Amino acid sequence: MPRILPRLLKALQNAPITPGQPTPPSQFIVRRRRKLSLWREVPPVDWSCRGRTRSILLDDANPFKDKLFSQRHKRLPPRLKISQNQDSSSLGNDRQRVMTEEERSWQASPYLRMLGSPLRDCVITGCRYPTDFMIRMGVVQSSGPRGSKPKQYVIPSGFEHPKFSSHRTPRGFYMICRPDAVDRLAEQPGSYRRYSSHALLHGKMKEQISHLLRLRVIQELNLLADRVRCNPQGADTRPVLRRLTRAEFTQVRTTGHVPYPSAVALLIVPPLNKDPTTKIRPTPNYTRLPDSEAAHSIPRRPSHSLASLYPTSTTGSKINYAGTLVGLPPPRVPLYNGVPLFPSRPQRAALHAALNGVLSAERRSRFRQRPHVGEHLAATDDAEGQTAVEADRKASHAYLLCSDSETLARADSVPLAIALWRLRLWEGDAFVGGAETLRGWSYDPPRPIFH
């Protein structure tokens, strides 16, 4: 300390600061580093031997000793929108471009986004799957009473959105998104104890994972409301989330298909009733810990499935005279039932509030886009007929989530569709036929084929 003070005082004397002198703003601005790609333009090489008087190894641009010829890196991925300043600035040797119409349609598909996620190895099956079809587990250390040895536990990691929780264990492993994988993990402790020899599994692992998957759906709804609120352009023609009318929902239930090509999910979430004793509706649960009601929730009946797949049209593949299918079948949209999807009433109240929050943001965006008075119903001579028309025009409990190349320009609803599909994977509705018929998704790794 005595040696530092004289040098510090000398440095302050040599660089005095005049009172009232404005400090340059560049000292406080932290510039974000731009993500540069390693792509470089490969110079052309004449591989032909015509007119050559010496070997290609003696050239200055030699592909055998110059690393520039052997480096093959990807370009920067295209972006949905690029500002004018960013487009004019050079990002190294590579510049980002705007997505084409076909690339925007790929980006708006939740299934392609899930298949395009990074590949990881499953500790249970030994196979490699996209990470969106898996769950990540990590090892943490908990401090016990004074004088006792700290314990290590295996907990879910990276389930919440980084905006709400940045907690993520540095080391972790992946396993398939199925509840029986936790039982298999407990039967094979060696699969996770290679990361920590003293790690333990707690008894509430399934309840915690189930709660965190449902919490991620609520978080994605809150983020979707923020995206819709920030971009109100086209809210009246391209809604991201809307409620179906009673007539539209009746048509879906009668015909058995969802006649909306841009639909990616359909949620049926009725409002919660008041408690018969307290006369109070349940308080929404946004915490990371499961509530007491979720532990004692009644299991859903076999007739009330969590999700069902509905085709978007009645036309599709047909069987010709030879008995073979001609054409592709129409895409299917999952219809989620709110009660089995969120069996806990406090968490279902949070889901209903988050859905209404997105609708409120859509309503404000439409008003900012075109402030006008709502359309009135046409007057009819028959009072009963007018009442029936008004009843059909009322909103139902069905929420339609859309995602296509046009809605992607307003708000990205694909993360919400992925969160819902991951919850369907965890509940087991996506696996039909049993584990013995699912080659690659079962616990038995595929056998090698010898020719």
Angle (CA) 189-195-196 rounded to 5° is 75
Q: Which of 175, 208, 173 is nearest to 441 (CA)?
A: 175
| Mean pLDDT along residues 387-402 | 81
Write down the CATH number for the domain with range 119-203: 3.30.1230
DSSP result, 363-419: HHHHHHH---PPPPPPP-S-HHHHHHHHHHHSEEEEEEEE-STTGGGT---HHHHHH
| Mean pLDDT along residues 22-44 | 57
Domain borders along the chain are 74-107, 119-203, 212-290+302-314+329-370+390-433
Q: How many CA atoms lie within 13 A of 264 on its CB side?
A: 28
Q: What is the mean pLDDT of the chain?
A: 78
| Mean pLDDT along residues 356-370 | 87
Q: Which of 222, 134, 224 is nearest to 185 (CA)?
A: 134
* Phi, psi angle pair for 236, to nearest 5°: -80, -20
| Mean pLDDT along residues 235-254 | 90
Beta-strand pair 263-268/332-337: parallel
Query: pLDDT tens, 40-53?
Result: 676 666 667 777 78
Query: pLDDT tens, 174-215?
Result: 999 998 889 888 888 777 777 777 778 888 889 999 999 999
Residue 135's DSSP bridge partners are: 175
pLDDT value of residue 8: 80
How confident is residue 167, by pLDDT bands cut at 50, 70 and 90? confident
Better-predicted residue by pLDDT, 428 or 104: 104
Can you read off the two tokens belonging to residue 295?
A: 């532990």
Q: How many CA atoms lie within 13 A of 155 on its CB side?
A: 19
